[in-house]
Structure 1
Amino acid sequence: MSALTSVSEAREMLEGAPGGLLEEQIVAVGDRIDTAGLEGFLRGHGTQVITLDDGDEALMATVCGAVQRVNKLISVRPLKSRYSADLGDVVVGRVTEIAGKRWRVNISARQQAQLMLSAVNLPGGMQRRRTAEDELNMRTLFKEGDLISAEVQAFQADGSVALHTRSDKYGKLDGGTLVTVCPNLIKRQKHHFQALGDTGASLILGCNGLIWVAPSAALAVDSRGAGGEADPPSALASREAVCRAANCIRCLASLHLPVYPAAILEAFALSKELQLSVKDILDPAFAVRIAEVEVERRQAQP
């Protein structure tokens, strides 16, 4: 029986395990980063070169985080930060405003993203120029408060993000639940639309830290895009699978562990093996068990 009783103790155990945070160099804003023995080092994200009084150059951290070294490239990975978009990222966001042939979408970034009317599929998949009538009917596609999935298409001159939903897999999301985690915990995947095996639940892993969990049937493509409401309504078993998967994600996030389908499936299977109810997954005892399994896995690695 484990002597650990809280999530904070489990996190400390993970930090001290092989590959944990204690093995990395942690810096705060203004700390100097050791570059001894690295001639011609390259400055990466989260760092700045400063000139000392004696004329020598030194590398200083501009964010709080862990120092990462790849050959001569030195960067600082923030422990927690807002989402920084990359081209092609799959994101989940909420529509906040409609104005001027565009939707403004909150994607947990520094600025709200823009989804232009020309960047969405029209009902029925028609390919034509958008008219004034289409602009008047924008709320029939997405209205304020709607959750949508989209892809990062481009960056505007002011640094804001332009989205598009031209693929059938993107669109309005219904019939599921939203889980929010730190964007740094999302592990990049080749495909961010994932089915959790035969559990009956499916995921949209937003690179911005918003994860949509829904019954597999609820992510079936409808005529307007992804995420149409399931018909007939989800059965009790499907709703339980969705809630179980969502709570497993919350448990992983509470331990600051990477969130990706294999880790979620492992936590899902462990909760079933321990015969835990859905609400008991959020109990600290289960988080401790997850941490112990992760430590054993790391120690077994060569």
Structure 2
Amino acid sequence: MVNQTDSDNFPPLGAVSSRRPRSAASAFSASSASSASSASAHAEGVHETHKRLRGEAMRWSAASLDDRERKSVFSGDIPGLGVVVPGQQILVEEGCMRGHGTYEKGGKIFAAVCGILEKVNKLVYIRPLRSRYQGSVGDVVVGRVTDILNGKWLVDVNSGQAACLALAAISLPEHRRRLDEDMLEMQNFFVVGDVICCEVQRVRADGQILLHTRSTRYGRLMNGVFLAVAPQQIQRQSHHIVQLSCGVQVVLGLNGYIWISLPMKTSAKDTMNYAHVQTTHEKVSKEMRLAISRVRNIVLCLARSNFDISTQTIERMYDVSVSRGWEAKDLADPLVMQELVEAFLVARLGKDA
């Protein structure tokens, strides 16, 4: 008897089986479809996550909008409260007028520049942290002659445009009248490249500054070094042409230009105005050169440390540098400069206390 179990379970040789093996192409298609479906599911999950996060962000934004608005509003009741940034709303009392550095939108006042909020009576304005010199009548400035035109000199005073010093705005020798020959010989007074000290006479509507040198204190500067800092760092004081206790004379121009030199020799008869007559180069001793260099480095240290530059601060830092035994060249070292600032603050707090 033949056992039918094996023949029934397995087909004979050569017969086609109903259960065909899967080809490589079909396997690849199946795997691709599976990958695509998983990628699609992952993309949908990422999209849902992003959608949920956006919803949470919008809900947080709506919930904290009032807080952020309160933080972006700056109160202008007290002058000098702090620094404002462009676009920040400024709250002022009723009846206040907006000044420089502000603009009005929708009945509200906003800051147009980054600076310090100031208030004078009913006027609210912003004093920029860094800006060009604007000019004010009576300011003592230091400038450099850049060009000679018909009856006037153009002077660089760190402003938006060149200042003008007219021939009629200087004192001629022996206070004589101006003649036509003086206009032809303007180079006998000031030439291009001369550093001069002068005073602001008037500011035009277009912003140009008009200068004059009708004083024995003003005129050509010599026997010294030139230094430029930010105009906002020069502290306004009663005298801007001062002689320090070390014998060095400093001209603190309100436009940010500073001249450090030997003391000027002036009198009621001799003035600084005449570039090639009274003012001449002098021989500077080694001690005075070192003193001038020390004062220069001290002014640079004050400027880089964002201190107000005045006669008092220069004198105090000068005394501190001498007491510590630092030489003039040592003050150019950043590490020594940092130590000098710390010692200056300690001495300043001790004297103020």
Q: TM-score, normalised on structure 2?
A: 0.70
Q: How far apart, CA to CA, are the structure 1 residues paired with 2:223 and 2:95?
A: 54
1:28 has 2:78 as partner: no
Secondary structure of 2:117 counterpart: strand
- CA deviation profile, 1:81-125 (whole Å, cap 9, x unmatched): 111100000010000110110000010101111111111122x33
SS of structure 2 residue aligned to 1:30: coil
Matches within 5 A, 1:119-134: 119-122=169-172, 124-128=173-177, 130-134=178-182
Residue 284 to residue 140, structure 1, CA distance change in 2 (3 Å)? same
| Residue 277 to residue 298, structure 1, CA distance change in 2 (3 Å) | closer
Q: 1:160 to 1:171 in 2, by over 3 A?
A: same
Q: Does 1:156 align with 2:213?
A: no
User: How far is the alpha carbon of 1:48 from its aligned partner?
Assistant: 2.0
**Identical aligned residues as a percent:** 36
Which runs of 5 or more structure 2 residues have no equivalent in the other structure? 1-79
Cα shift readout 1:190-245 (whole Å, capped 9, x = no counterpart):
11110112x010111101000110122xx1227341693354x1111111111111
- Give the equivalent residue in structure 1 for 2:183: 135
Amino acid at match of 1:126: H
Separation in 2 of the partners of 1:93 and 1:157? 21
| Match in the other structure for 1:182 | 230
Determine if the alignment matches structure 1 residue 238 to structure 2 residue 288. yes
Matched to 1:201, the amino acid is V
Asked if structure 2 preserves the Cα contact closer than 8 Å seen for 1:27 and 1:66, the reply is yes
168, 172, 183: which one pairs with 2:216?
A: 168
Measured in 2, the distance between the counterparts of 1:34 and 1:200 equals 50
Contact 2:317 2:344 in 1 (8 A): no
What RMSD over aligned residues (CA atoms) do the two structures have, in Å? 2.2
Deviation at 1:293, TM superposition (A): 4.3
Give the aligned partner of residue 255 of structure 2.
Answer: 208
Secondary structure at 1:76 match in 2: strand
What is the alpha-carbon distance in structure 2 between the residues aligned to residue 43 and residue 299 of structure 1? 40
Q: 1:220 aligns with which of 248, 257, 265?
A: 265
Greater RCO between the two (CA within 8 Å, min separation 6)? 1
Residue 42 of structure 1 pairs with residue 97 of structure 2: yes
- Name the counterpart of 1:13: none
AA in 1 matched with 2:322: K
Residues 215 and 239 in structure 1, CA contact (< 8 A), matched pair in contact too = no
- 1:61 corresponds to 2:118: no
CA 1:111/1:30 → structure 2, altered by over 3 Å: closer, same or farther? same
Which whole-Å CA distance do the structure 2 matches of 1:295 and 1:32 have between them? 35
Structure 1 residues 225 and 301 mapped into 2: Cα distance closer, same or farther (>3 Å)?
A: closer
Cα 1:179–1:42 shift into 2, 3 Å:
same
Question: What does residue range 275-294 of structure 1 map to in structure 2 within 5 Å?
Answer: 275-293=325-343
Quote the residue 2:15 is aligned against. Answer: none
Q: Is 2:299 the counterpart of 1:255?
A: no
TM-score norm. by structure 1 comes to 0.82
Q: Secondary structure at the match of 1:281?
A: helix
How far has the Cα of 1:271 moved from its partner?
A: 1.0
Residue 319 of structure 2 corresponds to residue 272 of structure 1: no
What stretches of structure 1 move > 3 A for 4+ residues in a row?
Answer: 69-73, 293-302
Asked if structure 2 preserves the Cα contact closer than 8 Å seen for 1:186 and 1:258, the reply is: yes
Q: Shift of the alpha carbon at 1:292?
A: 2.6
Task: Tell me which amino acid in the other structure corresponds to 2:251.
Answer: I
Give the residue type in structure 1 aligned to 2:135.
A
Residue pair 1:113, 1:161 contacting (<8 A) in 2 also? yes
Which amino acid in the other structure matches residue 88 of structure 2? Answer: D
The equivalent of 1:194 in structure 2 is 242
Structure 1 contact 255–287 (Cα < 8 Å) conserved: no
CA-to-aligned-CA distance 1:55-86 (integer Å, 9 cap, x gap): xx211111111223456543212111111100
Q: Distance in 2 between matches of 1:149 and 1:71?
A: 33
Shift in Å, 1:49: 2.2
What pairs up with 1:12-23 in 2 under 5 angstroms?
none
Which protein shows a greater Rg? Answer: 2
Return closer, same or farther for 1:49/1:300 CA change in 2, 3 Å cut-off.
Answer: farther
- Paired residue total: 267
* Partner-residue secondary structure (3-state), 1:142: coil
Counterpart CA distance in 1 for 2:96 and 2:343 is 38
Secondary structure (helix, strand or coil) at the match of 2:339 reads: helix
